[in-house]
Structures are given as C-alpha cells and as structure tokens.
Amino acid sequence: MTSVLFSPEQQARAASLQIVAIGVMLCVILLVRPNGLFGDRPRRPRFGKRARVAASESGS
C-alpha cells in the first residue's frame, strides 16, 4: 500500500511511520483495555473442572 500512496523516495519513511503507528495503537489498546479486547467475556469451565464441580455438588 505504501508503494501506491508514496513516491519511491518517501517509501522508507512511510514504512517506518507505519511501524510507529502500529506501536502507538498497541499501546492505546493496552491502556484502554488492560484485560485485552475480549477480557470481559465470562470463561467457560473446562471439561475436567465441570466434572469435579458436579461431583462435589452431588456429595460424592
């Protein structure tokens, strides 16, 4: 995409600015969403954990 938008003399500078922009976006995401993009979703219990919970509730 940089080859289409920028002249050959400016492509190296555009590529380095692209890397900086990606780094800034990652920092913003980490500051705004410290638990990640899907951090608020409830976790499903794993198979082994579910079986142990069911066994303890039944009194076994």
Query: pLDDT tens, 12-59?
Result: 888 899 999 999 999 998 898 888 777 777 767 767 655 555 556 665
Structural domain of residue 19, as residue ranges? 2-58
State the total domains in the chain: 1
- Characterize 15-47 residue by residue with b for buried, 16 or more Cβ atoms within 10 angstroms of its Cβ, and e for exposed: eeeeeeeeeeeeeeeeeeeeeeeeeeeeeeeee
- Which is more confident, 60 or 46? 46
Return the DSSP state at 45: P
**Beta-carbon contacts of residue 53 (< 8 Å; ≥ 6 apart):** 45
Contact 17, 24 (CB under 8 A): no
- CA 2 to the chain's CA centroid: 25
